[in-house]
Amino acid sequence: MEVKTKVIVGLGNYGDEYAYTYHNMGFMVVECLAERYRLDFKQKPKLHARLAQFVTENGDKIILAQPWTYMNLSGICVAELLSFYKINLSDLIVIFDDIDIEKGCVRVRQRGSGGTHNGMRNIVSVLKNQDFARVRIGIGKPPEGIQLGDWVVMNVSASDRPLIAKTIECAADCVQDWLNS
């Protein structure tokens, strides 16, 4: 069996003020995975990321990544990770929030456009390819009277916290299923 290196990229914004916002679903999922595997993230300035790593029972190296760029420049980090670790697109999965999916829903796709998510659009643009897996986490449309840009950087409301916590766990399960496929 061939040993591979796989990278799991969770999109989000760095900084404590964004830690539990709707736009940080990707960060939250990789943090959930890090907790499951008892890992700590380390800052890797050269790769514009925080990384945590482990090796599976079959010898695959798994890298959990949080881009340390602005969301709209996530492609810089992803391209650097793929190049540095010599990772094929088939061994990349990106996790991100999606306003076009009902809050609390998780969708896994093997390929697709960047949709309405600027971070994903940037990744697709920089890689010049959209043939990689992704986990889309529904956060729904902004409530009436709230602009999209304000909505995604709002802290998850108290009423949404139980649903979001379950959704993060579900998305982490999906990623683990992907790792085992």
Give, in order, the Cα–Cα distances in Å from 98 to each of 70, 117, 150.
Answer: 17, 7, 15
Which DSSP state fits 17? G
Q: Is 117 a catalytic residue?
A: no
Q: At 156, give phi and psi (nearest 5°).
A: -55, 130
> In 10 A of CB 174, how many CB atoms?
19
> One of 23, 50, 117, 134 is an active-site residue; which one?
23
Q: What tokens does 46 get?
A: 């050269």
Given the structure tokens 């088939």, which residue do they identify? Answer: 90
Question: Hey, what amino acid is at 133?
Answer: A
Q: Provide the 3-class DSSP secondary structure of residue 62.
A: strand
Cα–Cα nearest to 179, from 60, 99, 37, 1: 60
Q: Provide the 3-class DSSP secondary structure of residue 78.
A: helix
The bridge status of strand 133-138 relative to strand 42-44 is unpaired
Catalytic residues: 23
